[in-house]
């Protein structure tokens, strides 16, 4: 992600958390409260460090910080591994119509990204 885009994401309220090994950022994930929901944003783990529990560790930490009962995660429709990851942690895919509405309501992304994305929802007990 270019530095300017990162700064814009931080200004919009995304808080990033990561894992560092040998002074290298190996995993990162963001959380963003938006109105009455929480968004999980920008989840990445270096390929060489995948399947070691880092994504799960970050997601669990972010969910512990979320103050809302509804949490959404968006990802690319062409990323079945990401969809499976969120599904493993209790997230459920929403319908295409609901996805389109949610992406326009809570995210600030281009129309092309709306068309090629999915949204997963996690309903929890309110904190």
**Rounded to an integer, what distance in angstroms lies between the CA atom of residue 20 and that of residue 29?**
12
Better pLDDT: 89 or 3: 89
Q: Please state the domain count of the chain.
A: 1
Average pLDDT, the chain: 93
Please tell me the predicted confidence (pLDDT) of residue 73: 97
CATH code for position 104: 3.40.630.30
For range 76-105, the mean pLDDT: 96
Q: Say what the pLDDT of residue 126 is.
A: 64
Cβ atoms within 10 Å of 122's Cβ, excluding its own:
19
Task: Answer yes or no: is pLDDT of 127 > 70.
Answer: no
3-state secondary structure of 60: helix
Domain that holds residue 119: 3-123
Residue 99 pLDDT: 95
């Amino acid at each position: 992600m270019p530095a300017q885009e990162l700064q814009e994401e931080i200004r919009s309220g995304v808080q990033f958390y990561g894992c560092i090994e040998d002074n290298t950022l190996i995993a990162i994930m963001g959380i963003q409260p938006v109105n009455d929901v929480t968004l999980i944003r920008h989840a990445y783990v270096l390929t060489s460090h995948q399947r070691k529990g880092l994504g799960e560790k970050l997601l669990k930490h972010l969910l512990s910080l979320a103050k809302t009962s509804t949490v959404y995660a968006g990802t690319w429709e062409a990323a079945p591994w990401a969809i499976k990851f969120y599904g493993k942690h209790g997230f459920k895919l929403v319908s295409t119509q609901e996805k389109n509405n949610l992406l326009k309501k809570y995210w600030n992304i281009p129309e092309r990204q709306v068309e090629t994305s999915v949204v997963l929802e996690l309903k929890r007990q309110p904190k």
